[in-house]
Chains A and B, each alone.
Chain A
């Protein structure tokens, strides 16, 4: 049984938890996020003929005043950053979080979910935001908690990426 620890981080209010709720197996309530600061879910994906269990550590949403809890990120095999496509600043705030996280775990496979794509009228991101230049650009996928768009693709991409990069 192959398992991967995946941490999901994002700015407060980006719809991070809603995004995955319907696609994961969960036995803990959302309350854990505001109490313990983390909630662990499980997602099974298939990479080739190898089943992979993603242990999804959904970390409490962060704002500029609070840091991501480094202890929870330790040992992660992959990261999902969640930004709100209708709030451009969340993408920018994410880069701070990203610096902090990579400081703890180093460079590991990461994907950024640009959420709320269903709200097309309010979408604020341009092509430079969605496909940033430079080697440090994290893979980005447009997602919607409402329609489910991009969610499975996010998990699939990350699972494959962690398999390609087994040594963390």
Chain B
């Protein structure tokens, strides 16, 4: 028999049935297996589809039952997040921005509040009498200032926090105040547990009871026990109830966050390092200065002291300025030729108004000399004529053209002038038109001084010397020509001086050398003077202004050499005197 199915097709259905039976015999198990696998595949597809429908409920259900799902998914979610951030950080930043923004704002607000608090404390500390006293004590005893503050102002300070494994007494974590060094925290931790056991064994208290607090000097040890760990804090000072609550909260958090580590603890403290920040949260120092409420009644001092200083400084400046203003104003009022009518002093601008004589000193200069800034100052001044003697004198001095060589004084309404006075002043005094306050000028004690051009002319005349031969009163031609020009200079001087209302006199002094008899010499001298006077008269000089003085040998011109002395004394010399008219305006 062959297995070809086509061979007996003509025989109808019988061969088909036989073939199927044969197939069952030969490949039946494989067919069944194929069927099973096919069903299995279909069933799997069904489960995946169903899973999609039920996944949210399934997650919610498992999540409410225990934390296994969270733990299982944790690493996958972490990896997914990391990968997502790595690929597109911007997306994640945008997503968490609404959370980060408020969190950052809150952190900044807290930091600012902390800053304000610490500034308040610093002000309290440094400005209070108590703070100063402590600084002095620190300086005197050599103890650091913070220690002194703690000694006096400490309410309480948590100095150490021990996290201890309950069963073994081994130290899991320990934190202490920054300035405190605790080298054997592990030994202390052990002993702390041992003492707990000791007390429990000794007094047999109720189940769960324990030694919760004990005090040594200013230190108190507060122990809180949980099922797997103890939290002991060492407090210096008076601990408040809130501290105990915080201790309990911390211990509960440790139990919650480190449950598995506590259960599996076999001596390795490393897994408890992340608990440090939690424990550090318990470390705190509270001083009377930081404690809210207590120093409230003295709190105003914190602001009052600087406020007082500011007010004192401003007040001092104001008073100083007012004094200076008053002084300057008094000086100005005393100033001759100035009359203060109104003075007002505002915050920024000061103004003074009044009257001022044109010759008086500038008021702004007077005020500046009195120490008053002229920048904020404005002055309004009307001119007036002052009859104050100083101003009258000043005015007269100016109008007469007197210089510092003249001494001037006022008696009644007459101005007395002495010293050297320009010749013009004489003329002006005589011409009248005297300044207000003066009725007359007395120049009798004053000696006139010529204007520069006339003065040099006068000096050249004084220096002129007409010389003669021994025993002779005759003049050579050259001397006669010279006398002619001399005469014209003399006339020029006379005219100039006359124009200023004064007159000149010329003294001619005739001399001889000492040889010969006195009578002869006197006669010779007279002849010489007469001769020169005669020649001057010929040249048009008014002889009434000439004074002839034949001294012969009486007042010789000096010279070291006798021959030279004899030569220069055979001569006629000249001296001009100017006489001013002393008559004053009053006289006219």
Residues of chain A whose beta carbon lies under 8 Å from any beta carbon of chain B: 1-5, 25-28, 32, 36-38, 40-42, 52-53, 55, 57, 69, 71-72, 74-77, 162, 166-168
The answer to whether residues A42 and B186 also contact, given A3-B170, A166-B266 and a CB cut-off of 8 A, is yes
Is B201 a contact of A69 with CB atoms below 8 Å?
Answer: yes
Tell me, in angstroms, the Cα distance from A28 to B168 when the chains sit together: 19
Residues from chain B with a CB closer than 8 A to the CB of A162 are: 267
Q: Which residues of B contact A55 (CB under 8 A)?
A: 168-170, 186-187, 190
Which 8 A/B pairs are nearest by Cβ-Cβ distance?
A75-B167, A75-B168, A71-B197, A40-B190, A5-B168, A3-B170, A38-B194, A3-B267
- Cα(A162)–Cα(B267), bound, Å: 10
Q: Residue on A with the closest CB to B192? A: A40
In contact, A4 and B197 (Cβ under 8 angstroms): no
The residue of chain A having its C-beta at the shortest distance from the C-beta of B172 within the complex is A3
Which B residues lie within 8 Å of A25 (CB)? 184, 187
Known contacts being A1-B270, A3-B171, is A41 close to B201, with CB within 8 Å? no
CB <8 Å contact, A77 and B266: yes
**Residue interface mask B173-214, A partner, CB < 8 A = 1:** 000000000001011101100110110110000000000000
The answer to whether the Cβ of B18 comes within 8 Å of any Cβ in the partner chain is no
- Cβ-defined contact, B169 with A168, below 8 A: no
B268 & A2 in contact (Cβ 8 Å cutoff): yes
Bound together, the chains give a CA A74 to CA B168 distance in angstroms of 7
| Least CB separation from A40: chain B residue | B190
B58 CB → nearest A CB, Å: 35
Q: Which residues of A contact B188 (CB under 8 A)?
A: 27
Residues on B with beta carbons closer than 8 Å to the beta carbon of A41: 187
B356: CB under 8 A from chain A? Answer: no
Report the separation of the CA atoms of residues A53 and B201 in the bound assembly, to the nearest whole angstrom.
27
Given contacts A4-B267, A42-B187, A57-B190, 9 further A-B contacts (CB under 8 A): A3-B171, A5-B168, A25-B187, A28-B191, A36-B194, A74-B197, A76-B168, A77-B168, A167-B266
Which residues of chain A are within 8 angstroms of B268 by Cβ–Cβ distance? 1-3
Cβ contacts A to B, 27 pairs, < 8 Å = A1-B269, A2-B267, A2-B269, A5-B267, A25-B184, A27-B188, A36-B198, A38-B197, A38-B198, A40-B187, A40-B190, A40-B191, A42-B186, A42-B187, A53-B186, A55-B169, A57-B169, A57-B190, A57-B194, A71-B197, A71-B200, A75-B165, A75-B169, A76-B168, A77-B168, A77-B266, A167-B266
State A42–B183 Cα separation when bound (angstroms): 12
Number of interface residues of B (CB under 8 A): 23
| Nearest Cβ on chain A to B171's Cβ, whole angstroms | 7
| Cβ A69 vs Cβ B187 within 8 A | no
Chain B residues lying within 8 Å of A27, measured Cβ to Cβ, are: 184, 187-188
**C-alpha gap A36/B194 in the complex (Å):** 8
CB distance from A39 to the nearest CB of B (A): 8
Q: Within 8 Å CB of A3, what residues of B?
A: 170-171, 186, 267-269
Contact flag A42-B267 (CB < 8 Å), given A3-B171, A69-B201: no
Q: Output the residue of B167, B186, B194 with the most chain A CB within 10 A.
A: B194
Min distance, Cβ A162 to any Cβ of chain B, angstroms? 8
* A69 and chain B: residue at smallest CB distance: B201
How far, in angstroms, from A3 to B191 measured CA to CA in the complex? 15
Min distance, Cβ A78 to any Cβ of chain B, angstroms = 10
Looking at B165, B267, B268, B270, which has the most chain A CB atoms within 10 Å of its CB? B267
Contacts of A69 in B (CB 8 A): 197, 201
Which chain A positions have C-beta within 8 A of B194?
36, 38, 40, 57, 72
Contacts of A74 in B (CB 8 A): 167-168, 197
- Measured in the bound complex, the distance between the Cα atoms of B266 and A15 in whole Å is 30
State the Cβ distance, B289 to closest chain A Cβ, in Å. Answer: 35
Q: Is the CB of A42 within 8 A of B184?
A: yes
Measured CB to CB, the closest approach of chain A to B259, in angstroms, equals 18
User: Of B170, B184, B197, which is within 8 A of A5 by CB?
Assistant: B170
CB within 8 Å of A: which B265-296 residues = 266-270
- Residues of A close to B171: CB separation below 8 A: 3
Q: In whole angstroms, how far apart are the Cα atoms of A3 and B164 in the complex?
A: 12
Q: Measured between C-beta atoms, what is the minimum distance from B529 to chain A in Å?
A: 137
How far is it, in angstroms, between the C-alpha of A69 and the C-alpha of B200 when the chains are bound?
Answer: 11
B270 → A minimal CB distance (Å):
7
**Nearest A residue to B270, CB-CB:** A1
Q: In the complex, how many angstroms separate the beta carbon of B288 from the nearest chain A beta carbon?
A: 34
Q: Contact between B187 and A28 (Cβ–Cβ < 8 Å)?
A: yes
Q: Are B198 and A5 in contact (CB under 8 A)?
A: no
CB B95 to nearest CB in A, in angstroms, measures: 40
**Complex-state Cα separation, A77 to B167, whole angstroms:** 11
Taken together as a complex, chains A and B put the C-alpha atoms of A4 and B169 apart, in Å, by 10
Interface residue ranges of B460-515 to A (CB < 8 Å): none
| B190 engages A36 (CB within 8 Å) | no
A167 surroundings in chain B (CB, below 8 A): 266
In this complex, what residue of B is CB-closest to A5? B168
Residue interface mask B247-274, A partner, CB < 8 A = 1: 0000000000000000000111110000
Q: How far is the CB of B61 from chain A (nearest CB, A)?
A: 34
A residues in contact with B197, CB < 8 Å: 38, 69, 71-72, 74
B170's nearest neighbour on chain A, judged by CB, is A3
A71 to B199, CA, bound (A): 11
Q: What residues of A have a CB within 8 angstroms of the CB of B201 in the complex?
A: 69, 71
Chain B residues near A38 (CB-CB < 8 A):
194, 197-198
Among B184, B190, B200, B268, the one with the most A-chain Cβ atoms within 10 Å of its Cβ is: B190
Inter-subunit contact A37/B198 (CB<8 Å): yes
B191: chain A residues at CB < 8 Å are 28, 32, 36, 40
- Complex Cα distance, B171 from A55, in Å, reads 10
Q: Give CA–CA (A1, B197) in the complex, Å.
A: 25
A105 to B199, CA, bound (A): 21
Specify which chain A residues have a CB less than 8 angstroms from the CB of B190 in the assembled complex: 5, 40, 55, 57
A5 to B190, CA, bound (A): 9
Q: Give chain A nearest CB distance to B444 CB in angstroms.
A: 118
A36 near B195: Cβ-Cβ < 8 Å: yes
Assembly CA distance A84 to B194 (angstroms): 26
Report A72 CB to chain B, min CB distance, Å: 6
Bound CA–CA A168/B172 (angstroms): 17
Cα(A76)–Cα(B266), bound, Å: 10
CA distance A37 to B198 in the complex (A): 8
CA distance A77 to B267 in the complex (A): 8
Name, among A32, A40, A72, the residue most crowded by chain B CB atoms within 10 Å (CB to CB). A40
Q: Hey, which chain B residues are within 8 Å of A40, CB to CB?
A: 169, 187, 190-191, 194
Which residues from B are CB-within-8-Å of A52? Answer: 267
Taking the closest CB of chain A, its distance from the CB of B512, in whole angstroms, is: 136
How far apart are the CA atoms of A74 and B267 in the complex, in Å? 14
Smallest Cβ distance from B483 to chain A, in angstroms? 135
Contact B269 A168 (CB under 8 A): no
| A40 to B184 alpha-carbon distance, docked (Å) | 11
